[in-house]
């Protein structure tokens, strides 16, 4: 059995985890996940300005530097994708720290995910975006192109004796799976084991989101979140795992926290694609075996993809936004007049200059029931926040609207207020373009102080790819079905009660590009038929109609968890930094759905 601590979930994460893990002791590995599509584009711009930049600098300055001696004394190994678009520079910075400290820790750097040197080859076939079908972006606008590498290069770096492994873009769970492959000797065709290790990585890759953060039942841990514990996965050679956290820390590890994180940011749970294995999570079960200890079993591997997913980020103009507040009677009405006044002024000036109109203008009045469309459940507020955002091909146009918003304050309806500071600045719109590339295009190298060696991915047999094809043949049927509505027999004279979904389920939501997912897990298995009857795809579409450019929604079932997963397409206004929304990553979508009224027998709830 190995113990792996999950220390970070994004670039900018709090630095609480490593001291917790070092105090806990007895950990074999600590893994760090820093990268997202937005992060890669930011790092690409940083490297363009400074050839030594382009990686997660706080991994070096806030993690390794202040704890280097303790890391060496403990014997724990660190695995991190902090390398971003410049893993070699990140590795050099860490090696310098080790040399200055007079220590002998070995650093391995993995490269090969960066496909910018091979961009012409990648774009030769003019590929369409794999989810939206959009055409290839302009060559000159592309900022980064990175294949999602798997876990086997990480395992090989550890086999060579690395104490600290730094990678560029790998799939988030690979830092955990790589440790498992190294320690247990799992092979390419051990699909169930690879799926289990990937699930362990998925559960701990977002740090405290599996230990009480972003939890539906947040009130149970509200007074301890200031010292929330970061997750530890105890994984056995057969793929069985326990999720826990360091002793004496805050938060909690429950069926609800682990189930929510399992559902987070997945699509089809029977075909969760990763570079090393196609996972089936539909029969995964979670069991509370002790206080703050959850046992997780049931992951299955269904095949191996013969291609890498690749993310291209590209610049598509500029965006800017300003946030203000209105108070008093008819606050929302006044806020909309204020926003419209500034937008009209800016548009008149653009027209006078012969400039094109804004690509998009987004006005959101938060606190007004109209912000949620037909999903509104609340009375009109006397205090609202008003956010105005815009996109344009020319930075001068986005700056113009910000000036008009600032300049309209004295001539607008009464009640406007804002936090004092400088006028908002425009920033580049970075869009995501996803495609598939042949695995052979990635020139994977493992660099240590002694040598650089080429890494050859283990061969993917025709039998494993065939299993992928067989799995793919059933996906369309699963995705198009609404999930057969269960027959619910309440019997005559059975008293019915209507309660909000939150009484019956946990839920969590997230994003993948312009898609949102909402996972809903029944608190008790017998609640699921009533939840499923209420959460039809037409109903969910109606709740998010004010957000979605199209009503396309898939619903999937996870019988092992007594859960449903919804995937909402074209739901985020472009997603990431391309979106003008207040919630461009769907973090609040589950909270909207949790007040859904669900009808069920009163006796079942009382029991």
What pLDDT does residue 265 have?
95
**What pLDDT is attached to residue 479?**
44
Report the distance separating Cα 40 and Cα 49, nearest Å. 14
**Cα angle: 313, vertex 317, 319; to 5 degrees:** 100
Closest CA to 108 of 92, 125, 129, 132: 92
Find out if CATH 2.40.30 is the number for domain 315-431.
no
Give CA–CA dist 49/47, Å, rounded.
Answer: 5
Domain map of the chain by residue range?
2-113+148-305+450-464, 315-431, 496-606
From residue 575, alpha-carbon distances to 308, 391, 500, 570 in Å are 22, 14, 29, 9
The full length of the chain comes to 607
Task: Using the structure block, give the residue that is written with the tokens 């940083």.
Answer: 46
Taking only the tens place, the pLDDT of each residue in 212-247 is: 999 999 999 999 999 999 999 999 999 999 999 999
From residue 519, alpha-carbon distances to 314, 357, 556, 585 in Å are 30, 39, 9, 14
Both tokens of 455, joined, read 């890494």
> 555 - beta bridge partners?
566
| Nearest residue to 145 (alpha-carbon basis) of 166, 165, 125, 123 | 123
Tokens of 607: 């029991």
Looking at residue 475, its pLDDT comes to 45
Collapse the DSSP code of 498 into the 3-class scheme (helix H, G, I; strand E, B; otherwise coil) and give the result: strand
Nearest 10 degrees: CA dihedral of 413, 419, 424, 429? -100
Our CA angle for 334, 335, 340, nearest 5°, is: 100
Provide the pLDDT for residue 371: 52
What are the residues whose beta carbons fall under 8 Å from the beta carbon of 588, sequence distance 6 or more? 509
Q: Which residue has the tokens 């630095």?
A: 15
3-state secondary structure of 592: helix
Low-confidence ranges of the chain (pLDDT < 50): 375-378, 472-481, 483-484
- Complete DSSP assignment for 141-185: GEEEEEE-B-SHHHHHHHHTT-SEEEESSB-TTHHHHHHHHHHH-
Which residue in the block uniquely carries the two structure tokens 């002694």? Answer: 450
Alpha-carbon distances, residue 298 vs 193, 257, 259, 416, 503 (angstroms): 10, 18, 13, 55, 27
Give the sign of the dihedral formed by CA 260, CA 262, CA 268, CA 269. negative
Contact between 4 and 179 under an 8 Å Cβ cutoff? The reply is yes
User: Regarding beta strands 29-32 and 2-8, do their DSSP bridges make them parallel or antiparallel, or are they unpaired?
Assistant: parallel
CA-closest candidate to residue 366, choices 404, 399, 408, 336: 336
- Please give the Cα distance from 59 to 8 (Å, whole number): 10
């Amino acid at each position: 059995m190995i113990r792996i601590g999950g220390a970070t979930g994004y670039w900018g994460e709090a630095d609480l985890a490593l001291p917790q893990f070092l105090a806990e002791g007895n950990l074999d590995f600590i893994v760090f996940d820093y990268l997202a599509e937005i992060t890669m584009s930011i790092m690409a711009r940083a490297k363009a300005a400074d050839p030594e930049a382009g990686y997660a600098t706080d991994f070096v300055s806030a993690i390794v530097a202040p704890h280097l001696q303790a890391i060496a004394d403990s014997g724990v190994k660190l695995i991190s994708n902090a390398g971003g678009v410049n893993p070699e520079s990140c590795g050099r910075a860490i090696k310098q720290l080790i040399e200055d400290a007079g220590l002998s820790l070995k650093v391995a750097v993995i490269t090969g995910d960066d496909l910018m040197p091979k961009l012409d080859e990648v774009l030769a076939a003019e590929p369409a975006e794999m989810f939206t079908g959009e055409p290839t972006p302009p060559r000159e606008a592309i900022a980064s192109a990175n294949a999602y590498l798997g876990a086997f290069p990480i395992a090989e770096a550890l086999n060579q004796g690395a104490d600290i492994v730094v990678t560029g873009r790998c799939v988030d769970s690979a830092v955990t799976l790589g440790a498992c492959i190294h320690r247990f000797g799992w092979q390419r065709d051990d699909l169930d084991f690879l799926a289990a290790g990937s699930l362990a990585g998925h559960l701990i890759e977002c740090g405290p989101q599996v230990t009480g953060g972003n939890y539906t039942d947040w009130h149970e841990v509200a007074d301890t979140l200031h010292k929330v514990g970061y997750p530890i996965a105890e994984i056995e050679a057969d793929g069985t795992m326990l999720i826990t956290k360091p002793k004496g820390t805050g938060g909690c590890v429950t069926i609800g926290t682990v189930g929510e994180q399992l559902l987070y940011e997945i699509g089809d749970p029977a075909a969760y694609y990763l570079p090393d294995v196609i996972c089936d999570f539909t029969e995964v079960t979670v069991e509370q075996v002790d206080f703050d200890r959850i046992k997780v079993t049931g992951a299955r591997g269904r095949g191996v993809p013969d291609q890498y997913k690749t993310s291209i980020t590209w610049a598509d103009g500029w965006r800017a936004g300003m946030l203000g507040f209105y108070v008093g009677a008819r606050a929302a009405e006044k806020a909309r007049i204020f926003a419209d006044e500034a937008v009209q002024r800016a548009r008149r000036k653009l027209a006078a200059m012969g400039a094109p109109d804004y690509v998009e203008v987004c006005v959101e009045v938060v606190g007004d029931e109209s912000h949620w469309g037909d999903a509104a459940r609340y009375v009109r507020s006397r205090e609202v926040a008003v956010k105005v955002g815009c996109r344009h091909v020319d930075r001068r146009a986005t700056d113009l609207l910000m000036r008009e918003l600032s300049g309209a304050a004295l001539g607008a309806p009464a009640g406007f207020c804002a936090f004092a500071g400088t006028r908002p600045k425009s920033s580049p719109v970075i869009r995501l373009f996803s495609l598939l590339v042949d695995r052979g295009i990635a020139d994977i190298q493992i660099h240590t102080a002694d040598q650089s060696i080429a890494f050859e991915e283990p061969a993917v047999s025709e039998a494993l790819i065939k299993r992928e094809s067989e799995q793919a043949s059933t996906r369309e049927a699963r995705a198009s079905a609404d999930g057969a509505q269960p027959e619910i027999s309440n019997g005559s004279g059975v008293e019915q009660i209507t309660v909000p979904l939150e009484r019956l389920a946990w839920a969590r939501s997230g994003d993948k590009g312009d898609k949102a997912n909402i996972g809903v897990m029944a608190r008790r298995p017998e609640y699921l038929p009533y939840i499923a009857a209420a959460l039809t795809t037409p109903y969910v579409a109606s709740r998010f109609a004010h957000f979605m450019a199209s009503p396309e929604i898939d619903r999937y079932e996870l019988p092992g968890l007594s859960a449903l997963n919804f995937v909402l397409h074209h739901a985020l206004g472009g997603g990431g930094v391309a979106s003008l929304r207040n919630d461009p990553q769907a973090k609040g979508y589950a909270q909207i759905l949790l007040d859904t009224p669900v009808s069920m027998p009163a006796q079942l709830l009382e029991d």
